[in-house]
Amino acid sequence: MIKQLTATNLTLFPGEHRLEFAAGLNVFIGENGTGKTHLLKATYALLATSEETGRKQPDTSPTKTLLQKAYAEKLMGVFKPDALGRLASRKQGRARCEISLTFADSTLDTRISFATNAQSDVQVEQLPKKWQKARALFLPTRELMTIYPGFVALYDMHHVPFEETWRDTCIHLGVPQLKGRRSASVADLLEPLEQAMSGKVILDKTGRFYLSKAGAGNMEMQLVSEGLRKLAMLAQLISNGVLQENGYIFWDEPEANLNPKLIKLVAQVIYTLAASGVQIFIATHSLFLLRELEIICRKDGNKNYTQKFFSLALSENEISIEQGSELTDLQTLVLLDEALQQTDRFMELTDDSD
């Protein structure tokens, strides 16, 4: 479990920012351009680097030589800047960006830094004593079912302007589905999704995804609505066991392209995974999603479920970060303010029409 992220001079965040995470669900809320996705990507990049490097070289222990290059390559791939130094906050003269992760298991703790003029050079300030074993999954805003065929090979063979998180997720999508009867936990997660899609996800031998509908055959994923394709991606990652097996899930705008009915399903999946021990990080604009998560949590009353909310807001040309264990702990929740103001405007129109 990640206990803390400390970021100094990272992209939109000059100075030091320390974020204390919950073991269950961590929610980043804020307007566009406040850096929610940057915080998710930075955390994901450091996690994935350790796990991927250790998996490729299982007989080795972490060394600065191995990790300096690996951290730099992952950050460049995930963020796609022209140079690594572009990820450091812009200041007059030279400055350094520093990112550190603190874990419940302190032997995994790591800290890196790089300068604003760095091309691809990372300094490992604190070396983890062992490799990260739990995998991290990053779900981007858009669905990837329609670009999946051949995407990983294309990415690995050519310079393409797509984030490496897309490649990583496509690799997870290609994991074969679990054999045998579905476990109760998988069935509970899958059944409402398959009902909403009116079918099951199929990956054929040519590497193309289809939505299999009873009595109607297989429908090409390109012909399925974008919102349902997003559910299909989620269903595939549940049916092949990837979501349940990952220790960490990062999800950028789970609500994108979904109607409120489908957002309720996604909220239930998020809650179930977090309550079962997966550490989840999401960035959202949706007050509906936040309320739905709160409703589910209060109804369940699961004592093992922990949560943390982070409100990001632009104030005096700087991004401020407020954190709390409940939504009501946050004073700078801009999306809630806008929702309340919209209600006031609507009520004024209603009063004027009387």
DSSP 3-state percent helix, strand, coil across the chain (nearest 5) = 40, 25, 35
* Total residue count of the chain as it appears in this document: 354
Picking from 202, 229, 245, the residue at the C-terminal end of a domain is 245
**Is the same domain home to 278 and 337?**
yes
User: pTM, whole model, 2 decimals?
Assistant: 0.92
Specify which residues 25 forms β-bridges with: 280, 307
Which residues contact residue 140 at a Cβ distance below 8 angstroms, ignoring those fewer than 6 apart?
A: 163, 165, 166, 169, 252
Nearest in space to 66 (alpha carbons), one of 1, 134, 130 = 130
Q: pLDDT under 70 in the chain at which residues?
A: 91-93, 180-182, 301-304, 332-340, 342-344, 346, 350-354
Q: Which domain holds residue 218?
A: 147-245
What domain count does the chain have? 2
What pLDDT sits at residue 164? 96
Burial bucket for residue 149 (CB in 10 Å: 0-12, 13-18, 19+):
middle
Q: Which H or E run contains 231?
A: helix 226-239
Final residue of a structural domain among 227, 245, 263:
245
pLDDT at position 61 is 93
Q: How many CB atoms lie within 10 A of CB 143?
A: 24
Give the pLDDT of residue 338: 64
Within a domain: residue 232? Answer: yes
Q: Which of 190, 169, 172 is nearest to 181 (CA)?
A: 190
Report pLDDT digits (tens) over 158-202.
999 999 999 999 999 999 887 766 677 788 889 999 999 999 999
Q: In this predicted structure, what is the pLDDT of residue 178? A: 77
Element holding 321 (H helix, E strand): strand 318-324
